[in-house]
Amino acid sequence: MPKNSKVRVLLGTRKGTYVVESDAKRRKWKVSSYAHDGNDVFHVVADPRHPGSFYAAVNNGFWGPEVQKTVNWGKTWKEVATPLTPLRKSRPNPMDQPEGAPPAPKPVLNLWHIEPGHMEQPDVVYLGAEPHLLFRSDDLGTSWEPVDSINHYPGREKWSPGGGGANLHSIIVDPRSPNRLYVGMSSVGTFRSEDGGKNWSPVNRGVEAPFQPDRFPEIGQCVHHVAIDAADPDTLYRQDHGGIYVTRNRMDRWTRIGRPLGDDFGFCVASPRADPGRAYFVPLTSSGGMPRTTMVDGHFQVREWNDETRKWRKLLAPSAFPGHYGVHREGIACDDLDPAGIYVGTTTGHLFVSPDAGKSWLLVPYAFPSIHSVGLSNPES
């Protein structure tokens, strides 16, 4: 069988899933498939351990969430198991409950993020859901088990939702070890496990929560998204409600790097495999304390952080793509090629591509629905 040579961009949108493909030059793009018509698709991810396998977190307004999977590059999809709330299986009549009984359970409301497991665990998949739930599958999504150590974390009854909900939206597996995992949850913060998810610790030291009475609490930061540096997995980058941060010690301590930008509010972050020490962010304006959630100064812009020089760089001229674009937390991704491709999907349904690590940019000529997530299926090397 010939090796797959195509670069595929996987889009989760307000109205379905798109696969958009090109060759390794990444200059000409075409939509190769469309699925889940009318559904809110929060995340679509390729499983690099199984070429051609993609997972989609589909959230149907009428009949709830579904995990959908394809094994043929998006040509056909089918529903696989969908995780169920692990808090309680039945719903007793509230009138029959004694005083002080635990509150009625909440169903899984939305699926937010699906993450293939470590290369050494080729059948493991993780899934983050709302309200603040983590699941693990050991059979490629055929069944799911709740990760009780995070789902029953002491004090979680006090966790509150962020503006987008009580979502567990970031799941990161350290490429050096399947035992080191990180999760990020809105209005809660980041947690790390060193034993494959049996135990977790909050790792938010140094991250400000400007909306809390204690501005540097152990838990309660509103992290929006997290990315790991593939070349140095001790380094991770974080976009919070309260700013942009980096850690160089596996989240033991975070340092704010976004202050020179003025506005360092935003939702998304990505780090390319080909350029160690680089991370890409899309700051959104938050003037006056009330985030407007469109790009700063009325034009499309991506900011590059260089962790070696500790400097920021704008990747576009203001005149390139004027407009008020928004971008969601999964709205930026990088491919694994050299030079790195950078992909940004906006709430206005535009898909921007840089095939050369930000030197040049093109707009894919297609009017997509509002884009929630951008994922990559890389060519086989």
Nearest CA among 225, 224, 231 for reference residue 340:
231
Q: Which of 133, 17, 125 is nearest to 81 (CA)?
A: 125
Per residue, what are the HEC states of 135-184?
EEECCCCCCCEECHHHHCCCCHHHCCCECCECCEEEEEECCCCCCCEEEE
Nearer to other proteins, 66 or 335 (CB): 66
Pick the closer one to other proteins by CB: 148 or 195.
148
Q: Which residues 196-235 are close enough to bind other proteins by CB under 8 A?
A: none
Q: Which is nearer to other proteins, 71 or 84 (CB)?
A: 84
Least Å from the CB of residue 64 to other proteins: 6
Those residues with Cβ within 8 angstroms of residue 313's Cβ, 6 or more apart along the chain or in another chain: 303, 304, 306, 358
Q: Is the peptide bond before 339 cis (omega within 30 degrees of 0)?
A: yes
Asked if 376 interacts with other proteins (CB under 8 A), we say: no
Binding span for other proteins by CB under 8 A among 81-89, 156-164, 223-231, 314-322: 81-89
- Note the Cα 17 to chain centre separation in Å: 16
Indicate the residue type of 203. Answer: V
CB of 28 to other proteins, least distance (A): 37
Q: Under the criterion CB under 8 A, does residue 88 sit at the interface with other proteins?
A: yes
Which of 1, 5, 78, 89 binds other proteins (CB under 8 A)? It is 89
The residue from 2, 61, 154, 288 that contacts other proteins (CB under 8 A) is 61
Total site size for other proteins, rule CB under 8 A:
16
Give the nearest distance from C-beta 164 to other proteins in angstroms. 18
* Whole-number Å distance between alpha carbons of 270 and 304: 10
Indicate whether 63 belongs to the interface with other proteins (CB under 8 A): yes
Tell the smallest beta-carbon distance from residue 141 to other proteins (Å).
Answer: 16
Strands (DSSP E) along 159-257, which ranges?
168-173, 181-185, 189-193, 201-202, 223-228, 236-240, 243-247, 255-256
Question: What minimum distance in Å lies between the beta carbon of 131 and other proteins?
Answer: 12
Q: How far is CA 143 from CA 122, 123, 135, in A?
A: 15, 11, 10
Q: Is 170:114 a contact under the CB 8 Å cutoff?
A: no
Which tokens belong to 224?
Answer: 């929006």
Q: By CB under 8 A, name the one of 27, 50, 75, 91 that touches other proteins.
A: 91
Q: Is residue 121 within 8 Å of 180, Cβ to Cβ?
A: no
Q: Which of 14, 15, 51, 85 forms a contact with other proteins (CB under 8 A)?
A: 85
Q: Enumerate residues 94-133 that contact other proteins by CB under 8 A.
A: 104-108
**Least Cβ distance, residue 38 to other proteins (angstroms):** 11
> What is the smallest separation between the CB atom of 84 and other proteins, expressed in angstroms?
4
Residues that bind other proteins (CB under 8 A): 61-64, 82, 84-85, 88-91, 104-108
